[in-house]
Amino acid sequence: MIYEIHLYVPKTGRLTPAMLEWLLQNGQSTDQPEVFWPVRQIRPKALARRLLQLDPTLVPVRGQGEDVELHYPNTELGIVLYIHERGVILLFPYMAYSVYSRIVLGICYTYIRYLFDSAGFWSYDPQLDVLSYADDFQSIDDTSRLMDAIMPRLLN
């Protein structure tokens, strides 16, 4: 199973459940005026360059349209940052009760924290329904325990 964490820069400085609901309903729409969008529009290539400054080992791949994918160089870990015009989707495989899950989460939280500190990205975990202004390294263990408690039930 591929696990996702969505990252957005809210226009108001904070992301709310109502904003996420709007994004779920209208995020794929191309006819919404900019004024209605609760999150900022970003330039995918510029953000990709910024992330490559943080981690030059990431492998850039052209995405759909103007989107950019950055693949973690160790393909066994399966980490991908998918950058689109409204945010970033951090994708990685869910590995229950595994040492790899702790390593993968640590790498992912580095990217999440960098995006928060450098550009104000908030994160949303749709699997666990957790919204955060910035995940920190102390919450990695909490997230790992929560994933191991909830995800096996969702997979059945």
Q: Name the residue with tokens 């030059």.
A: 56
pLDDT digits (tens, 9 = 90+) for 54-113: 999 999 999 999 999 999 999 988 999 999 999 999 999 877 656 677 788 888 888 998
Instruction: Report which of residues 17 and 134 the model is more confident about.
Output: 17
Domain holding 73, by residue range, is: 2-155
What is the domain-level CATH number for residue 47?
Answer: 3.30.310
**CA pair distance 94, 117, nearest whole angstrom:** 26
Secondary structure element (H or E) that encloses residue 88, with its range = strand 87-93
Give pTM, 2 decimals: 0.84
Q: Which amino acid is it at 6?
A: H
Whole-number Å distance between alpha carbons of 135 and 143:
10
Total tally of structural domains belonging to the chain: 1
Cβ contact 84:67 at 8 Å: yes
Average pLDDT over residues 17-25: 92
pLDDT in tens, 23-65: 999 988 888 999 999 999 999 999 999 999 999 999 999 999 9
The single-letter code of the amino acid at 125 is D
